[in-house]
Amino acid sequence: MNKTLQAHLSLVIVNIIYAANFSIAKEVMPSHVQPFAFVLMRVAGALLLFWLVSAFFIKEKVDKKDLPYMAMLAVFGVALNQLLFLKGLSITQPINGAIIMTSNPII
């Protein structure tokens, strides 16, 4: 498979996953899982996955002075972002959430 086709196929797969995110999250919340618990599961799962990958494949080390900055970025860039997104999604329709998230760079 040539690199252009592989890149386009990867983009299609990522778009399908992102599009399914709204409907799946709305189906799960709030009847089965609250937004905070959903974020906790997503962040913990990503932490475990990335930790396993870095333990076996990545040999680059992070300076200890950068760890507080990385922790702050994790809280504000991932956890808080997802918590607010999922809380908003729990009180609206998936299509409204998709439109708002897609138009975020414009706003």
pLDDT tens digits, residue range 58-78? 788 888 999 899 889 888 888
Torsion 84-90-94-99 (CA) sign: negative
Domain range for 79 is 3-103
Tokens 């439109």: give the residue: 99
Give 98-102 contacts, CB < 8 A, sequence gap 24+: 98/19, 98/22, 101/22
Do residues 25 and 86 touch, judged by C-beta distance below 8 A? yes
Overall number of domains in the chain: 1
pLDDT confidence bin for 90, thresholds 50/70/90: confident
Per-residue pLDDT at 3: 92
Alpha helices (runs of H) in the chain, residue ranges in sequence order: 3-28, 35-56, 67-73, 80-90, 94-103
Per-residue pLDDT at 49: 93
**pTM across the whole model:** 0.67
Do residues 44 and 105 touch, judged by C-beta distance below 8 A? no
